[in-house]
Chains A and B, each alone.
Chain A
Amino acid sequence: MSAQKHLGNLLPRRLYRVLTLTACWVTCVVGSADAEAFSARRDAVARIDRLVERHLSANDAEPNAVVDDHLFVRRAYLDVVGRIPTWQELYEFHSDQRGNRRERLLGKLIGSPGHVSHMYNWLADMLRVKDEYDRIGKTYTFHTWLKKQLAANRPWDQVVRDMLTAEGRLGESGPTAYLLRDASMPLDSLSNTMTTFLGANVACAQCHDHPFAEWTQRDFYQMAAFFGPTVFERIDTRKAAGKMSSKGLATSKIKGYLQPNMELVFFAKGRFTEFPDDYAYDDARPGERVPPKFISWDGARGGESVGRDPRQWREEFADWMTSKENPRFAAAIANRIWKKFFGVAVQEPVTDLDVLENASNPELLKYLADVMREVDFDLEEFQHILLSTQAYQRQAEIVSVASEQPLFSGPRLRRMTAEQLWDSVASLMVGSDIDTKTVDRAPELAARVFPFDVPEIVLAYGVPDIREKMTKQNKKQYEATLRDLEKQVIAFIDRDKRRSKGGKTKKRAGAKKDDWLRASELPQPMPPTHFLRVAGQSARDVADDGSTEGGIAETLALMNGPITETVTARSSPAVRAALKRRQAEEQILYLYAAFLARPPTDDETRAATRALKNGYELEDVAWALLNSREFIFVQ
């Protein structure tokens, strides 16, 4: 709010001046910094542009003109920070009169807290991040871990590697959540992993040989076998909590404490993947142990030998998958990030790169994968390269049929994602401070991690067949261990209760109920009737499920809903600030800058001024701008 007050003095005359200066494109040159890295970036940018332009001319098409600064700034904010720019940010950009200000803007935005939030939403859709998996406890440690990886810009191969190899309890190791997500279905888990990170369409091979690609069902099981000795188990704590609750503590309370300790990933000696009962081919018998073996495809490191120690298999799989020599790993993430900025991937769908020659521009995809390897999976640098290309900075590619192969005469015209829409509205209410309003709920879980080991036998609470297989003596031992464990658990809960007595009231006093937060800081996902979901936020049940199609329900919410009421009210920051100006023209300029990041044209100024004279209020102008196609589309 303080920023807006401050702006009230500066604007709009100055804003008007800077906004209406003719925007011109200046070739980007970086003076200082790492000259070598920059020169590598410049080379990559130039090569991408050449590949795009060559493809365009091969198709008798012309590249679009480079966008003016107004469009560029709005697009860059939406694509990098995930929301529209505030007045102050517009002012800063447009009053920067030095050369290569676009480059400076990108440098400022990439890696900022808003960028982390936006990238998190993107990953959360890809990885199906949910606060709570089906009947299982909270996954806050995973959210926090992901955000930390993004904030530290950890290389993608390392992030994926951590998720594939994480061990321990969810309460202390966020990345364990990745495998826990599909814990009860190891084949689907593998299928998801291969599809998401390699764009390998292996789903068919779960039941039969792949009809098109070189996959056989045997290949599939041999890949799944790398995870055979891993128990990535989610224990239903209801039963265990029910047993202990007789000791004078509520079941729900105990459940809450058990949860972060009983969802865990660990190595189990003697566990292996077996061929299924309905295995369709003659080369193995159902129930036979499956030896792990890497599949091979054109150029991949196939046939690589696998170590003897089952304890190492998961690591070996992660090494194989994330290796620079795996041609798919770099291509898959590069293709996904391209889609994020250009609206459509070089090869669609991003989950099926089985035939790389099917890409709209195979050479481009190949080169993007090379760049990804050259930058060592540094996602920020890779994004910086894409955002610096002329290809990205051109006017939007308009298509009459969505399924047309893209030529990339410019990025596709896109509708904002649900999260971009929500975060833009939130920034209209709160200003750029919204980016740093973060919520970290991982400590809630971490505080519940027992200082003692949870013996493997505890698993027996949730796995009935273990109990059945026990001998009498084992059973006795088991009962004794359980009793001992129960004592420890209850003592821990008591101690924790005493410890945290003071803290709770403090926390509550500080929290305001209707504070605005960015989508990344809200529950994952929001409930089905919330604006975010109505606007297309993924339910996070399946990967890559966010929608930007829109629909009547969303339109009704934008026309008549409570969000619109708040953001276009007389008391909203945008309208209130506009009202401070005396001249109608200035008021209109304010609202245009706030919603559309540009000054109105003369025609628009005339139309809006006339409306204000004829009984319309500024709220009506704000309503019209919020509901405009120009607002919700990213040009």
Chain B
Amino acid sequence: MKSITRSLDPEGRRIFVERCATSAFGLSILSPTVPAKAARPDKRRSGVASAGSAGKATSVIWLNLSGGLSHIDSLDPKRGRSKGPADPISTAVPGTQFTSYFPKLATVADRVSVIRTMYAEIGVHKPASYLMRTGYEGRGTIRHPHIGAWGSHYLGRSSETLPSSVCVNRRSDQANGFFPTSYAPLAIGSPNAGVQNTDPLGSAQKLKKRVGLLDELDAGFRSKIGDQKVAAYNGYYDDALALMKARDLDAFDLSKEKDSVREAYGKNAFGQGCLLARRLAETGVRFIEVDHKGWDHHKALPDEMAELSPVFDIAFATLIEDLEQRGMLDTTLVVVATEFGRKPEFDGDGRSHHPTCFSTIMAGGGVKTGYVHGRSDKDGRNVEEGMVTVGAFHATVGHALGMNIEEPAISASGRPFTVGNGEKPVLELFA
């Protein structure tokens, strides 16, 4: 499959992936937990897609800087009293500056769009991360899906045997939302370890026998207990067995890469996670999230940023260049997200949470190059022009993937939801 998809142009590739998706529907892999009312696949593409280059992306690599990236010390450098320890540097785009913590990012600035006017109202990690992952504020009564699950809903499966959605360096929970658990991502705890336990104990034959016995002995319980959570488990077993047989499991194996390539991404969990994301996108996984922890710089910001930034800087720049060289950047949307920014003023030698103005990145997948969206005020405290809410950010990603984001999905409890909570995509971001 790898060779077929590579030989296709982006449009051909999209059609191919769609066909895979169509053929996969009706398979047990999706059916066991689909509630009757919810999650009917609708592969109609976004109506706006034909205007401009939206809808070009076939996969999304979502890099999450967990803890809250200080926008002022990274993508939106300021002079005057809110200036941080690092000086601004020029980038490949005349007139656009980042801080000196990100020299490599500066060299690929001409291939990305920076959004300097993200806006949210939650300044606490857990609920803010929830908002950034789902586009919705958390509520006690419903769980919202992340983009990967929306993708499975609108576009179907992205690969015959591999999961459509993978998350690296984080758990798989809180992702499928009200959609079936089969839309939840496969969790990779460590990119070096890849997907673990895919070889059966003994032989495949033996496993098949065992699963037969399991189904027989567990039948009484399963028929007696028609619980949603039990049904989800039945789905996991089907999915896990399918994954074990997948032809493309090598995609998870970083040892197939040259050491020089692994080195270039940085030999750490995030760098290797980015490399893994590239391999997975290449093999037909639609949504790959890579988590990078440690950006919560309340204390010792100068030291901590100096230590942590190169990890992101090197991995991100390498990823963009690698995707570009492989001709994948047009169809791969790379997103850099974080739950909020940090305050213009220092509190001791760190900065506190600041949700009302912060910065993110989108690159590839039909997004403009060398573009800066919006303007913050001189301290980096408030949005001055071109506000992008988290909902709009999600709508933009959905739009880039060609989802019909105006068509609501109905949760099992009968409530309508859309990608980005009804917000409009930021069309200025598209080339």
A binding-site residues for B, Cβ under 8 Å: 134, 184-185, 187-188, 191, 203-204, 206-208, 236, 277-278, 348-349, 352, 396, 398-404, 413, 415, 463-465, 527-529, 533-534, 536, 539, 541-543, 545, 547-557, 559-561, 564-565, 601, 603-604, 607-608, 611, 615-616, 620-621, 623-625, 627-630, 632-633, 635
Across the interface, which residues of B come within 8 angstroms of A543, CB to CB? Answer: 126
B221 interface neighbour in A187, A415, A628, Cβ under 8 Å: A628
When C-beta atoms are compared, the residue in chain B nearest to A627 turns out to be B214
Do residues A403 and B413 form an inter-chain contact, with CB atoms below 8 A?
Answer: yes
Give a binary string over B244-264; 1 marks a CB under 8 Å from any A CB, 0 the rest.
100000000000000000000
Do residues A559 and B240 form an inter-chain contact, with CB atoms below 8 A?
Answer: yes
Q: What separation, in Å, do the CA atoms of A319 and B381 have in the docked complex?
A: 38
A551 interface neighbour in B142, B236, B349, Cβ under 8 Å: B236
Known: A188-B124, A528-B169, A628-B214. A560 touches B228 (CB 8 A): no
Q: What separation, in Å, do the CA atoms of A278 and B341 have in the docked complex?
A: 15
Question: Smallest distance from the beta carbon of B94 to chain A beta carbons, Å?
Answer: 33
Q: What separation, in Å, do the CA atoms of A607 and B220 have in the docked complex?
A: 12
Across the interface, which residues of B come within 8 angstroms of A557, CB to CB? Answer: 196-197
Q: What separation, in Å, do the CA atoms of A236 and B193 have in the docked complex?
A: 32
Do residues B221 and A528 form an inter-chain contact, with CB atoms below 8 A?
Answer: no
Across the interface, which residues of B come within 8 angstroms of A206, CB to CB? Answer: 123-124, 353
Q: What separation, in Å, do the CA atoms of A194 and B66 have in the docked complex?
A: 24
Asked whether any CB of chain A lies closer than 8 Å to the CB of B427, the reply is no
Q: What separation, in Å, do the CA atoms of A232 and B243 have in the docked complex?
A: 49
Across the interface, which residues of B come within 8 angstroms of A565, CB to CB? Answer: 201
When C-beta atoms are compared, the residue in chain B nearest to A545 turns out to be B126
Give a binary string over B169-211; 1 marks a CB under 8 Å from any A CB, 0 the rest.
1011110001001001111111001011111110000110110
Q: What separation, in Å, do the CA atoms of A542 and B174 have in the docked complex?
A: 14
Do residues A550 and B218 form an inter-chain contact, with CB atoms below 8 A?
Answer: no
Question: Smallest distance from the beta carbon of B417 to chain A beta carbons, Å?
Answer: 13
Q: What separation, in Å, do the CA atoms of A564 and B221 have in the docked complex?
A: 21
Provide the main secondary structure of the chain A interface.
loop
When C-beta atoms are compared, the residue in chain B nearest to A348 turns out to be B140
Q: What separation, in Å, do the CA atoms of A545 and B173 have in the docked complex?
A: 10
Question: Smallest distance from the beta carbon of B59 to chain A beta carbons, Å?
Answer: 19
Q: Which of B201-235 contact A (CB under 8 A)?
A: 201, 206-207, 209-210, 213-214, 216-218, 220-222, 225-230, 232-234
Q: What separation, in Å, do the CA atoms of A534 and B171 have in the docked complex?
A: 8
Q: What separation, in Å, do the CA atoms of A629 and B237 have in the docked complex?
A: 10
Do residues B172 and A553 form an inter-chain contact, with CB atoms below 8 A?
Answer: yes
When C-beta atoms are compared, the residue in chain B nearest to A565 turns out to be B201
Do residues B218 and A400 form an inter-chain contact, with CB atoms below 8 A?
Answer: no
Question: Smallest distance from the beta carbon of A100 to chain B beta carbons, Å?
Answer: 28
Known: A206-B123, A555-B240. A278 touches B199 (CB 8 A): no
Do residues B190 and A552 form an inter-chain contact, with CB atoms below 8 A?
Answer: no
Q: What separation, in Å, do the CA atoms of A320 and B193 have in the docked complex?
A: 50
Question: Smallest distance from the beta carbon of B367 to chain A beta carbons, Å?
Answer: 30
Asked whether any CB of chain A lies closer than 8 Å to the CB of B125, the reply is yes
Q: What separation, in Å, do the CA atoms of A187 and B142 have in the docked complex?
A: 28
Do residues A556 and B221 form an inter-chain contact, with CB atoms below 8 A?
Answer: no
Q: What separation, in Å, do the CA atoms of A159 and B233 have in the docked complex?
A: 38
Asked whether any CB of chain A lies closer than 8 Å to the CB of B79, the reply is no
Do residues A536 and B171 form an inter-chain contact, with CB atoms below 8 A?
Answer: yes
Do residues A413 and B140 form an inter-chain contact, with CB atoms below 8 A?
Answer: no
Known: A236-B300, A611-B213. A413 touches B240 (CB 8 A): no
Do residues A207 and B355 form an inter-chain contact, with CB atoms below 8 A?
Answer: yes
Do residues B230 and A413 form an inter-chain contact, with CB atoms below 8 A?
Answer: yes
Asked whether any CB of chain A lies closer than 8 Å to the CB of B370, the reply is no
Q: What separation, in Å, do the CA atoms of A629 and B169 have in the docked complex?
A: 27
Q: Enumerate the 8 nearest inter-chain pairs by beta-carbon distance, A residue then B residue, closest first.
A: A528-B189, A630-B221, A551-B172, A184-B298, A556-B197, A624-B214, A628-B218, A203-B124
Known: A348-B140, A536-B173, A549-B172. A601 touches B189 (CB 8 A): no
Q: A548-B229, A553-B188, A611-B213 are in contact. List 12 more A-B contacts (CB 8 A).
A: A187-B352, A188-B124, A188-B353, A203-B123, A204-B122, A402-B229, A547-B173, A553-B189, A556-B195, A561-B196, A607-B217, A627-B214
Q: Which of B331-373 contact A (CB under 8 A)?
A: 343-345, 348-350, 352-353, 355-356
Across the interface, which residues of B come within 8 angstroms of A635, CB to CB? Answer: 225
Q: What separation, in Å, do the CA atoms of A608 and B212 have in the docked complex?
A: 11
Asked whether any CB of chain A lies closer than 8 Å to the CB of B374, the reply is no
Asked whether any CB of chain A lies closer than 8 Å to the CB of B325, the reply is no
Asked whether any CB of chain A lies closer than 8 Å to the CB of B18, the reply is no
Across the interface, which residues of A come within 8 angstroms of B125, CB to CB? Answer: 188, 541-542
Known: A534-B189, A551-B236, A616-B209. A630 touches B350 (CB 8 A): no
Question: Smallest distance from the beta carbon of A543 to chain B beta carbons, Å?
Answer: 8
Across the interface, which residues of A come within 8 angstroms of B227, CB to CB? Answer: 398-400, 413, 633
Across the interface, which residues of B come within 8 angstroms of A548, CB to CB? Answer: 229
Asked whether any CB of chain A lies closer than 8 Å to the CB of B384, the reply is no
**Which of B123, B127, B186, B296 is the most central at the interface, judged by chain A CB atoms within 10 Å of its CB?**
B123
Asked whether any CB of chain A lies closer than 8 Å to the CB of B88, the reply is no
Q: What separation, in Å, do the CA atoms of A598 and B182 have in the docked complex?
A: 31
Across the interface, which residues of B come within 8 angstroms of A348, CB to CB? Answer: 140-141
The 23 listed contacts between A and B (C-beta, < 8 Å) are A191-B124, A207-B123, A236-B300, A278-B343, A398-B226, A399-B227, A400-B412, A413-B225, A465-B348, A527-B189, A536-B173, A542-B126, A547-B174, A550-B233, A551-B184, A555-B236, A556-B244, A559-B200, A607-B217, A623-B210, A625-B217, A628-B218, A633-B230
B181 interface neighbour in A187, A404, A463, A549, Cβ under 8 Å: A549
B239 interface neighbour in A188, A277, A534, A552, Cβ under 8 Å: A552
Question: Smallest distance from the beta carbon of B344 to chain A beta carbons, Å?
Answer: 8
B173 interface neighbour in A208, A551, A556, A627, Cβ under 8 Å: A551
Known: A413-B230, A552-B172. A560 touches B200 (CB 8 A): yes
Asked whether any CB of chain A lies closer than 8 Å to the CB of B121, the reply is yes
Known: A547-B171, A555-B237. A629 touches B197 (CB 8 A): no
Do residues B225 and A633 form an inter-chain contact, with CB atoms below 8 A?
Answer: yes
When C-beta atoms are compared, the residue in chain B nearest to A561 turns out to be B197
Give a binary string over B107-143; 1 marks a CB under 8 Å from any A CB, 0 the rest.
0000000000000011111110000000000001111
Q: What separation, in Å, do the CA atoms of A278 and B343 have in the docked complex?
A: 9
Do residues B220 and A603 form an inter-chain contact, with CB atoms below 8 A?
Answer: yes
Do residues B232 and A550 form an inter-chain contact, with CB atoms below 8 A?
Answer: yes
Q: What separation, in Å, do the CA atoms of A187 and B354 have in the docked complex?
A: 13
**Which of A206, A348, A403 is the most central at the interface, judged by chain B CB atoms within 10 Å of its CB?**
A403
Question: Smallest distance from the beta carbon of B237 to chain A beta carbons, Å?
Answer: 6
A403 interface neighbour in B141, B190, B243, Cβ under 8 Å: B141
B189 interface neighbour in A529, A611, A624, Cβ under 8 Å: A529
Question: Smallest distance from the beta carbon of B231 to chain A beta carbons, Å?
Answer: 9
Do residues A204 and B121 form an inter-chain contact, with CB atoms below 8 A?
Answer: yes
Do residues A633 and B240 form an inter-chain contact, with CB atoms below 8 A?
Answer: no
Asked whether any CB of chain A lies closer than 8 Å to the CB of B163, the reply is yes
Q: What separation, in Å, do the CA atoms of A420 and B372 have in the docked complex?
A: 50
Asked whether any CB of chain A lies closer than 8 Å to the CB of B2, the reply is no
Asked whether any CB of chain A lies closer than 8 Å to the CB of B299, the reply is yes
Do residues B142 and A403 form an inter-chain contact, with CB atoms below 8 A?
Answer: yes
A620 interface neighbour in B141, B210, B230, Cβ under 8 Å: B210
Do residues A560 and B121 form an inter-chain contact, with CB atoms below 8 A?
Answer: no
Across the interface, which residues of B come within 8 angstroms of A184, CB to CB? Answer: 298-299, 348, 350
Do residues A401 and B228 form an inter-chain contact, with CB atoms below 8 A?
Answer: yes
Do residues A629 and B186 form an inter-chain contact, with CB atoms below 8 A?
Answer: no
Do residues A560 and B201 form an inter-chain contact, with CB atoms below 8 A?
Answer: yes
Across the interface, which residues of A come within 8 angstroms of B124, CB to CB? Answer: 188, 191, 203, 206
Across the interface, which residues of A come within 8 angstroms of B198, CB to CB? Answer: 556, 560
Do residues B187 and A352 form an inter-chain contact, with CB atoms below 8 A?
Answer: no
Across the interface, which residues of A come within 8 angstroms of B213, CB to CB? Answer: 607-608, 611, 616, 620-621, 624
Q: What separation, in Å, do the CA atoms of A623 and B142 have in the docked complex?
A: 36
When C-beta atoms are compared, the residue in chain B nearest to A188 turns out to be B124
